Structure 1
Amino acid sequence: MAPTIKCLIVLAIVALLFITELIPLAITAMSGAIACGLLGFIPAKQVFSGLSDSTVVLFAGMFVVGAAMFHTGLAQKIGISIVRFSGTSENSLMFGIMIVGAGLSSVLSNTGTA
């Protein structure tokens, strides 16, 4: 069987697992990369080399901080503080949200900022 056909089969299996979510999505993604390395589609050294990039590590850290804000209740406290500080009028509330959103987006992912 040609390597292109094998690669398409792996792609179809991974797509099916992504759609059905029979196993967790992170495991599906990692198993797809591992399968490509084991079947020789890509060199073994390059299977996870993209995860070592500094930008990927930065985004991973931003996701952790954003999720921690929701789990600890900090996001709720920030929202209450914005309403208390800027009042309930539409214009001042929008301005307060824009200022805090600009500050948070410099250190968080979009999930944490939202």
Structure 2
Amino acid sequence: MSQAVKCLILLAVIALLFVTELIPLAVTATAGAIACGLLGFIPAKTVFSGLSNSTVVLFAGMFIVGAAMFYTGLAQKIGNTVVHFCGSGENSLM
């Protein structure tokens, strides 16, 4: 069986797992990337090389800070303060 056929089979399995959500989506995506590296479809060095980009790291940090702001209630307090100073109308908030 050629590499292309193996890759298409792996893609079909990953797509099926994405659609059915039998396992969590994050695990499915990570397992798909690891499987591509282990089966030799892509070089092992490049499996997660896209995650080393500084923009990706910045977004990950922003997600963590944003989640912490919602968890502690700081986001609600900031929203209330902005509405208090600017007014509750659409035009004044813009």
Q: TM-score, normalised by structure 2?
A: 0.89
Aligned residue for 1:20? 20
Q: Deviations over 1:67-93 (max 9, x none)?
A: 22221111111111112112234422x
Unaligned runs of 5+ in 1: 96-114
Matches within 5 A, 1:95-106: 95=94
Note the aligned Cα RMSD (angstroms).
1.3
Aligned residue for 1:53? 53
Secondary structure, aligned partner of 1:23 = coil
Q: Which amino acid aligns with 1:3?
A: Q
Unaligned runs of 5+ in 2: none
How many residues get paired?
94
Between 1 and 2, higher relative CO (CA 8 Å, sep ≥ 6) is seen in: 1
Moved over 4 A (4+): none
Q: Percent of aligned positions with the same letter in both sequences?
A: 74
